[in-house]
Amino acid sequence: MGFVSSTGRAADRTEQVAAGMRCARHRGPDEAGTWSDVGDEGHPRVGSGCVVFGFNRLSIIDLESSHQPLRWGPPEAPDRYALVFNGEIYNYLELREQLRREFGVEFATEGDGEAIVAAVHHWGPDAVRRLRGMFAFLIWDNVEQQLFGARDPFGIKPLFTAALPDGVAFSSEAKGLRDLLEQPAEVDERALQHYLVLQYVPEPATMDRAIRKVESGTRFTVRPGEAPVYERYFHPVFAGRPATDAQERRALVDRITAALEDSVAAHMRADVTVGSFLSGGIDSTAIAALAKRSNPDLLTFTTGFEREGYSEIDVAAESAAAIGVEHIVRPVTEAEFRDVLPSIVWYLDDPVADPALVPLWFVANEARKHVKVVLSGEGADELFGGYNIYREPASLASITGLPGGLRKGLSAVGRALPDGFRGKDLLRRGGLDLEERYYGNARIFREDQLTGLLHTYSPGHSFRDVTDPVYEQSVGWDPVARMQHVDLFTWLRGDILVKADKMTMANSLELRVPFLDPEVFDVARTIGSEAKVTRQTTKLALREAMERIVPAHVLHRRKLGFPVPIRHFLAGDSYEWARDIITSAQTDQYLDPAAVLRMLDAHRAGQADHSRRIWTVLVFMVWHGIFVTGAITPEIPEPAYPVKL
């Protein structure tokens, strides 16, 4: 966490920075520290009072040293820089060696933090392109009187910011900024509308209009008294082309295998024990199988519900036995699912209506009893073409190839057909341009469904506000590549990585995602669409690359992840629980409670499956009760874990 003062009175905010750190203590319970440039003898302008840094450490590398805020500088100014840094740099050893060789750099620790600061000092802002890892960091330069910061290319680690009357603040947790803002959250109505459509708030917005996110793949500078200057440094390009023959296809598959093997090996670097999540799909199974090469005693973890079709426990156990790892299971009950929701929303900062958050929280909680770091398979679908929706361009080709007028006519026919009529959605979607029909993996409320629910609904706000700028960067690409590109900037960083980071760090557990590695992306981006999706399967090239690594029973298995039976819950024992949330929520300014109750009753009666829409509303109502009205106060325990290594 950091605050840059525009008045030279940063010390006035020290206690509020400390309060913000206490809110985020779960992210780093091992050690806490603060630093301010006030009275710093190494500072050429002693007592300027421009900056306060605070840090909570989860010690993973160089456990006895690498304390933060970290001080570093060249021999002529040994305390020139101060760093706070969340994440891990997996190529830190190589960077340290290169810096020693090229510039004679001497390091006082064995960690990755010094590698970041020294790299920025010697290579300038472009040093962020050399960092292989997940990160959000702030570096204060005492000489230039300037803050430099960056967030990793894919947005694995979060970074929030808020403009204050006397400066600007940054934090890994939005809730950590609220003491500085000295006010409860205020709902951003446009963000709420996007959330109800997408099930998350798209960057750079948050649900609180006073707080923003630093976007993924962005670096920035701040001078006291001036607004931050942001610059995107990561511009992903999918430039795949068909493999022309069997030899070229084999070479591609071999490159995928080598890149993933190298990435997992790098992600296993730690001075503590590393485990792995394991569901029933190819992604997590591949990661676990490769991780076992570095740690023969690897522990794997999974979760599920005791309802047929909503658990991958048996398949994950079979996979664990096949690859020879010890496996730990944490089943979740419906009562636990309900009881933990307020705490989960508190940890989230922003509402995210992905039910998989709940089992993920429980499996992370179990894993933290045994290990301090886990690997997981996030990112494989976005990079290698793993979502079934990516097969849609092929299934719609007979319609999308028609002249525009005829397509639009067929779309109108599709809209006019009654719900449930076979082929209705095919006709409706086939008549739409890609930019109009695809805006990510989650589509919760349609525009026509919002008009009777959302009092603040504006037809001038649309998902296209979010996706059109992304589509503009991919003109001329094939449709599957364009969909992947949209997902990198929407679904991946808005939902997948938020739940991965927040639910694991809520349990003081570090999660690493080897698929989201620059070296892996450099290979994945070259894959042609025919090697990603077919009418029969997805992630085709990845599956071919993993043939010798994962057990046969998961190689072509349909992805489930950690599925949640909310459809059954909300129609059964959890109905009254949901009704109580709706009737007690103080959100009438935004949502019509009668409309929500009608959805809930229709769902219980079996008239329609409204479960995802109801869940989306419930999560917002709980968020509002916690952060806006204060009517809900989750019980957040002090982080205390028996496992230190």
**Structure confidence at residue 39 (pLDDT):** 54
Residue 474 lies in a domain: yes
Binding-site residue positions for L-glutamine: 112
Q: Which residues of the chain have pLDDT under 70?
A: 39-48, 558-562, 641-645
- Its pTM stands at 0.95
Residue with structure tokens 């072509």? 556
508 and 584, same domain (yes or no)? no
Residue ranges making up the domain that contains 495: 246-386+489-555
Residue 241 lies in a domain: no
176 and 134, same domain (yes or no)? yes
Residue 412 lies in a domain: yes
432 and 493, same domain (yes or no)? no
H-type alpha helices, 463-512? 464-471, 479-489, 491, 497-505
What is the dihedral angle through the alpha carbons of 440, 443, 444, 446, rounded to the nearest 10 degrees?
130
What is the dihedral angle through the alpha carbons of 33, 38, 44, 48, rounded to the nearest 10 degrees?
130
Q: Is the dihedral of CA 37, 38, 39, 44 positive or negative?
A: positive
Residue 162 lies in a domain: yes
441 and 510, same domain (yes or no)? no
Please state, in angstroms and as integers, the Cα–Cα distance from residue 408 to each residue in 284, 400, 411, 426, following that order.
42, 10, 5, 12
**Structure confidence at residue 41 (pLDDT):** 44
Strands 2-5 and 70-72: unpaired
Cα(107)–Cα(612) distance, integer angstroms: 52
Residue 199 lies in a domain: no
Among 502, 522, 555, give the residue marking a domain's end: 555
359 and 341, same domain (yes or no)? yes
Cα(426)–Cα(488) distance, integer angstroms: 25
**Structure confidence at residue 43 (pLDDT):** 42
330 and 218, same domain (yes or no)? no
DSSP per-residue codes, 122-151: HHGGGGGGG--EEEEEEEEETTTTEEEEEE
State how many domains the chain has: 4
**Structure confidence at residue 47 (pLDDT):** 46
**Structure confidence at residue 88 (pLDDT):** 98
Residue 193 lies in a domain: no
First-to-last alpha carbon distance for the chain, in angstroms, is: 25
**Structure confidence at residue 40 (pLDDT):** 46
**Structure confidence at residue 445 (pLDDT):** 95
359 and 215, same domain (yes or no)? no
623 and 579, same domain (yes or no)? yes
Residue 619 lies in a domain: yes
371 and 345, same domain (yes or no)? yes
74 and 173, same domain (yes or no)? yes
How many other C-beta atoms lie within 10 A of the C-beta of residue 328?
18
270 and 167, same domain (yes or no)? no
Binding-site residue positions: 112, 376-377
Please state, in angstroms and as integers, the Cα–Cα distance from residue 512 to each residue in 93, 127, 501, 509, following that order.
18, 22, 9, 10
**Structure confidence at residue 46 (pLDDT):** 43
**Structure confidence at residue 643 (pLDDT):** 53
Task: Give the burial class of 460: count Cβ atoms within 10 A of its Cβ; 0-12 exposed, 13-18 middle, 19 or more buried.
Answer: exposed
What's the CATH code of the domain at 328? Answer: 3.40.50.620
Nearest to 194 by CA among 352, 316, 38: 352
Strands 51-57 and 31-36: antiparallel
120 and 228, same domain (yes or no)? yes
Binding-site residue positions for ATP: 376-377
Residue 22 lies in a domain: yes
